[in-house]
Chain A
Amino acid sequence: MYRSIILFVLLCGCSALILSKNAVAHDMTPTYPKWKITQHDGIYKTTMEMFNSRTDVNWYEIGVFDDDWKPIRFVTSYRVFKLEYLGVAKIDVYINARDKDRAEYICSKSKLKGGSNDKPMVESRICSRFK
């Protein structure tokens, strides 16, 4: 009896949550990534994980910056990549040893569509920091 009531309340709560709010979020972890050595001399790697719950965004861009926000060269499979709604992506980012200590921030930025009728207004960007 009580189990049915609890289940009913939970279902109602979840439905209300889904219907009432079109939650659109972007997050990236870890907050403080570290560079790791690779099997290639002078090449370091870090792995970032991203989650997209923005219904209005499917594309994101990765960037690496120094402490003055100047871009630093890095290598990844796709600098701009598609991440579907509720999709999770692990992104490996490689950098030269000579740039490793200059790299201060690694950021992911939402790419907004310009040409469609459904034009989102908020561009989100999350930056993790190398400490």
Chain B
Amino acid sequence: MNKFITLGLIIGLSGCALLMPKEVAAENIDITGTVQSRCTVNTDTPGVYGNPNAHTLTTLPASAGQLPIVRVDTTLANAYNAQISYPTSFASSPSLGDTIAWTGAVTVVQTSSSDMSGYQAGSTTTGAARTYPLSIAGTTWFSVASQATYGGGQNKAFPGGSYTAHVVAECIAQ
């Protein structure tokens, strides 16, 4: 008889333990993480050349082109320069016998902080490349305009075919 009472008590206590609220048995579990300084280059909008006339390829939206938008994220102030270059040659194209005049412009179109408003004024250019010291952690969006005119000033028609040119977006550690 005593054995049955003891067994009943054990089962009863075990049941109580199982039914106890979870908070009683809870522990604090830490979640830890480290954010490394880094720079990320993102392509938010791929560029497309429009062909408003036979001798021009342009990314301007008014000419059915699309401006590529590059987003650069940096997690540490004064650690990186962003360097964005518009194209000065085709990566792939039909055979071209005449010269091509390249023009372009890189512009800051949006920033994650109003403190970055001086980025465009503080940038420097070397040829087709524009360099921006990223002095504030956050996100910057750049648009890259590009235009190619064929014929060395005589406006010759581009040969029919597919054309590709590359915008180079770089994060270079300071």
| A interface with B by C-beta (< 8 Å) | 21, 23-32, 54, 56, 105, 112, 114-115, 119-129
Which stretch (B24-32, B110-118, B151-159, B161-169) binds chain A? Answer: B161-169
Q: Is the CB of B47 within 8 A of A31?
A: no
Q: Is the CB of B166 within 8 A of A122?
A: yes
| B interface with A by C-beta (< 8 Å) | 36-44, 46-48, 68, 70, 73, 76, 79-80, 91-92, 162, 164-174
Contact residues in B for A27 (Cβ distance below 8 Å): 38-41
Q: Is the CB of A25 within 8 A of B41?
A: yes
Name B's interface SS.
strand
Contact residues in A for B37 (Cβ distance below 8 Å): 29-32
Given the contacts A25-B41, A122-B47, A129 and B173 also touching, CB distance less than 8 Å: yes
Contact residues in B for A123 (Cβ distance below 8 Å): 166-169
Nearest-CB residue, chain B, relative to A27: B40
Contact residues in A for B73 (Cβ distance below 8 Å): 25
Contact residues in A for B80 (Cβ distance below 8 Å): 31
Contact residues in A for B164 (Cβ distance below 8 Å): 114, 119, 121
Nearest-CB residue, chain B, relative to A33: B173
| Least distance between B170 CB and chain A CB atoms (Å) | 4
Out of A24, A31, A54, A124, name the residue touching B38 (CB < 8 Å). A31
Q: Is the CB of A124 within 8 A of B173?
A: no
Nearest-CB residue, chain A, relative to B47: A121
Q: Is the CB of B36 within 8 A of A29?
A: yes
